[in-house]
Amino acid sequence: MKTGNRGRLAILISGRGSNLQAFIDASAGGALAADIAVVISNNPDAGGLRLARRAGIPTRSIDHRDYPSREAFDAALAAEVGQRDVDLVILAGFMRILTPVFIEPFSGRLLNVHPSLLPKYPGLHTHQRALDAGDTEAGVTVHFVTLELDGGPPIIQARVPILPGDTAQTLADRVIVQEHLIYPLAAQWLISGRLQLTDHGACLDGEPIPATGIDYSPGASSGAPTEPG
C-alpha cells in the first residue's frame, strides 16, 4: 500500500544498478515522492540486487534462462510486478527486450532511459556511433516504453558536448551523470500526475511534449521544464 501521498515503484535491472542508486538517493532526499517497492533482476548475480538489499529494499530474481520463451518470462515478470501494487515500472539497465505480454499491462506507467538523443541511435553502442558519425553532441533520453524498441514517446533529454579526444567511455561517463538527474525527474512528473501517455504521445501538464522530448536544464529539477530546443 502507498505511504501517504507517496507512489510506489518497481525497478527492473540486469547489472550493477547505477540508475537504481540514483532512484534510491532521489527517494531518500525528497526529490522523488515515491518508495521503491521491489527491485527485480533477470540476472541472479546482478550487483544491483546487493545494492537494493543494503538499502532495505525487497528484491526478487527471475532468471530468464528458466523460461522457454520471452513471453513465458514476461508473464512471470508481469505477475510479480502486478502483485506489488506499483504506480510506475522503471527499466534501469534491464537488458531484455520486452514483449507485449509485459508492456501492455503497464502501458503508460513503464519508463526506460536510453543513452542517446533519440530518435538517433536506438539499440546498442550509442556513444561509439555518435563519435563515428562526427556528431558535436550526445546525450540521453527518458521515454515511455511501447511495442517499438527504443521508439516510445520521448519525455526529456539531456545533452552533453562531444569534446576533442573523446572516447566512447569518456563520453559515457559524462552522459551517465545527466542520466541520473533526468530519470528520477521524469518519474516524479508521472508520480505527481503531471505526465501522461496519451493516444497522441506524451503530455506534461496537459501540453504535448515535443517529438524529441523536453530539453533538460538545471532549472527543470524544480519541476519547471525548459522550452524545447
CATH number at residue 224: 3.40.50.170
Does 8 share its domain with 88? yes
Does 100 share its domain with 9? yes
Q: Is the pTM of this model over 0.75?
A: yes
| pLDDT computed for residue 221 by the predictor | 47
| pLDDT computed for residue 193 by the predictor | 97
114 is catalytic: yes
Does 222 share its domain with 158? yes
**Catalytic residue from among 114, 127, 143, 180:** 114
In the listed set 106, 122, 154, which residue is the last one of a domain according to the structure?
A: 106
Phi then psi for residue 97, to 5 deg, are: -85, 115
Torsion-angle region of 201 (φ positive above 0: left; ψ -120 to 50: alpha; else: beta): left
- Give me the number of domains the chain comprises: 2
Residue range(s) defining the domain that contains residue 208: 114-229
In the listed set 106, 132, 155, which residue is the last one of a domain according to the structure?
A: 106
Dihedral over Cα of 14, 19, 21, 24: its sign: negative
Query: What is the residue-level pLDDT of the chain in tens, covering all 229 positions?
Result: 344 589 999 999 999 999 999 999 999 999 999 999 999 999 999 999 999 999 999 999 999 999 999 999 999 999 999 999 999 999 999 999 999 999 999 999 999 999 999 999 999 999 999 999 999 999 999 999 999 989 999 999 999 999 999 999 999 999 999 999 999 999 999 999 999 999 999 999 999 999 999 999 876 444 445 443 3
